[in-house]
């Protein structure tokens, strides 16, 4: 949509596995005026590739997202079996509200090829890739199109965490779903910003926020409220949370307005082995550089080390996040997707 902006909107590609929070992320990407959603690609994760792709196309109808390509990507990780957390997202991957029929056709090309085409068609450095699922597609892109990596403006991903996991004590789902792909993505030369559980667990869709959401009064806001109701029940049952974390929307929000998170530039390593630590994202805070304000963690720039290309979000302005989401939904308005 990106109407009424003074500076050019930031172009993004959303690579996702809808997934309740992916769905909210997609609508935020569509409605926020500082973003221009160029393409949506899917990867197996919250459910099978077929299901998350059907969900993504149906969400296009919910949000009246038209004129951009949707393509399906990897159906399993580079190595090992596909993890599917159906205890959180349900049998369809988007259980809760009734979904409309898919609103957009599926491109007759693999997601990786679509990502490459979009990167080639846009100015170098002008497109940020926002993965909100496992990183299989992004790793394949880096390996199939190495000459395009330097044209990518950055990768702002939902995944990992510097102090906790959710699938294991050490690993967050998007990383654990394909640790080998994650290692490739973090080791590449492009700038990577990790929006991990450290911050997403601070942005919970608690009842007060749900009242604000419902007060928007549109059919899309009501749809999200029904998504959150299911998502929240899963999180309460499985993890005793007072509200489900807005994991994926926070990654999109961090691109729409980087001040929504505080980030620190530091080396980040992905553990691909280990009985207990496979999928862990290890942040070396011994070697760090404050990105956008004094770290507040007593960390100072290390003039000796070479500057890492990876950053980790360490704090979040939750009010600013919710303001961004509610504003995007007001801009989308009613789409009459049920008619």
* Positions in the binding site for Ca ion (CB under 5 A): 17, 19, 22, 132-133, 248
Select the span of 15-23, 91-99, 227-235, 317-325 touching ligand RIB (CB under 6 A). 15-23
- Grouping H, G, I as helix, E, B as strand and the rest as coil, residue 11 is strand
Comparison of 73 and 133: residue with beta carbon closer to ligand RIB = 133
Please give the Cα distance from 231 to 270 (Å, whole number).
28
CB neighbour burial string for 298-311, b if at least 16 within 10 angstroms, e if fewer: ebeeeeeeeebbbb
- Residue 245, strand partner residues: 204
- Report, in Å, the least distance between residue 200 CB and ligand RIB: 7
Q: How many residues does the chain have?
A: 339
Comparison of 133 and 308: residue with beta carbon closer to ligand RIB = 133
Active-site choice (20, 89, 201, 247): 247
Determine the size of the site formed for ligand RIB (CB under 6 A): 15
Among 172, 178, 188, 271, binds ligand RIB (CB under 6 A): 172
174 binds ligand RIB (CB under 6 A): yes
Residue in 142, 138, 335, 111 with CA at minimum distance from that of residue 251: 138
Among 70, 141, 145, 173, binds ligand RIB (CB under 6 A): 173
Comparison of 116 and 170: residue with beta carbon closer to ligand RIB = 170
Is residue 89 annotated as a catalytic residue, yes or no? no
Comparison of 13 and 148: residue with beta carbon closer to ligand RIB = 13
CB neighbour burial string for 113-146, b if at least 16 within 10 angstroms, e if fewer: bbbbbbbeebeeeebbbbbbbbbbbbbbbbeebe
133 binds ligand RIB (CB under 6 A): yes
Comparison of 1 and 15: residue with beta carbon closer to ligand RIB = 15
19 binds ligand RIB (CB under 6 A): yes
| Tokens encoding 183 | 């290692």
281 binds ligand RIB (CB under 6 A): no
45 binds ligand RIB (CB under 6 A): yes
- Report, in Å, the least distance between residue 113 CB and Ca ion: 22
158 binds ligand RIB (CB under 6 A): yes
Which residue pairs from 114-121 have beta carbons closer than 8 angstroms and sit at least 24 positions apart in sequence?
A: 114/39, 114/41, 114/69, 114/71, 115/13, 115/15, 115/39, 115/41, 115/141, 116/141, 116/144, 116/145, 116/148, 118/13, 118/38, 118/39, 119/145, 119/148, 119/151, 119/152, 120/148, 120/151
Comparison of 97 and 133: residue with beta carbon closer to ligand RIB = 133
DSSP letter assigned to residue 148? G
Whether 265 and 311 have beta carbons less than 8 Å apart is answered as yes
- Report, in Å, the least distance between residue 334 CB and Ca ion: 26
Cβ neighbors of 254 (< 8 A, separation 6 or more) are: 156, 193, 195, 260, 261, 313
β-pair type (310-316, 261-265) = antiparallel
Select the span of 14-22, 94-102, 264-272, 306-314 touching ligand RIB (CB under 6 A). 14-22
311 binds ligand RIB (CB under 6 A): no
Among 36, 95, 198, 248, binds ligand RIB (CB under 6 A): 248
List residues with catalytic annotation. Answer: 247
**Contact residues: ligand RIB, CB under 6 A:** 17, 19, 21-22, 45-46, 132-133, 158, 166, 172-174, 247-248
């Amino acid at each position: 949509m990106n109407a009424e902006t003074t500076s050019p909107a930031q172009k993004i590609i959303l690579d996702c596995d809808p997934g309740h929070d992916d769905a909210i992320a997609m609508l935020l990407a569509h409605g926020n005026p500082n973003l221009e959603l160029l393409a949506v690609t899917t990867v197996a994760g919250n459910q099978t590739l077929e299901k998350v792709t059907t969900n993504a196309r149906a969400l296009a109808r919910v949000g009246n997202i038209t004129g951009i390509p949707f393509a399906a990507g990897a159906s399993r990780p580079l190595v090992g079996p596909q993890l599917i957390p159906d205890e959180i997202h349900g049998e369809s991957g988007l259980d809760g509200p009734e979904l409309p029929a898919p609103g957009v056709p599926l491109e007759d090309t693999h997601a990786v090829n679509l990502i490459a085409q979009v990167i080639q068609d846009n100015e170098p450095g002008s497109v940020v890739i926002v993965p909100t699922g496992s990183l299989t597609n992004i790793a394949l892109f880096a390996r199939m199109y190495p000459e395009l990596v330097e044209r990518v403006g950055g990768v702002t991903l939902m995944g990992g965490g510097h102090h906790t996991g959710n699938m294991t004590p050490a690993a967050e789902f998007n990383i654990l779903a394909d640790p080998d792909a994650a290692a490739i993505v973090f080791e590449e030369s492009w700038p990577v910003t990790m929006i991990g559980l450290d911050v997403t667990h601070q942005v919970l869709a608690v009842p007060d926020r749900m009242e604000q959401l419902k007060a928007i009064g549109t059919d899309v806001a009501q749809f999200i409220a029904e998504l959150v109701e299911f998502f929240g029940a899963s999180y309460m049952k499985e993890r005793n949370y007072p509200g489900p974390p807005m994991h994926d929307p926070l990654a999109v929000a961090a691109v729409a307005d980087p001040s929504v998170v505080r980030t620190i530039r530091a080396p980040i390593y992905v553990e691909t082995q280990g009985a207990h630590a496979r999928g862990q994202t290890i942040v070396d805070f011994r070697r760090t550089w404050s990105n956008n304000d004094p770290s507040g963690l007593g960390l100072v720039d290390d003039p000796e080390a070479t500057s890492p290309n990876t950053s980790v979000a360490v704090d979040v302005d939750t009010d600013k996040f919710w303001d961004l989401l509610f504003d995007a939904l007001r801009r989308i308005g009613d789409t009459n997707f049920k008619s």
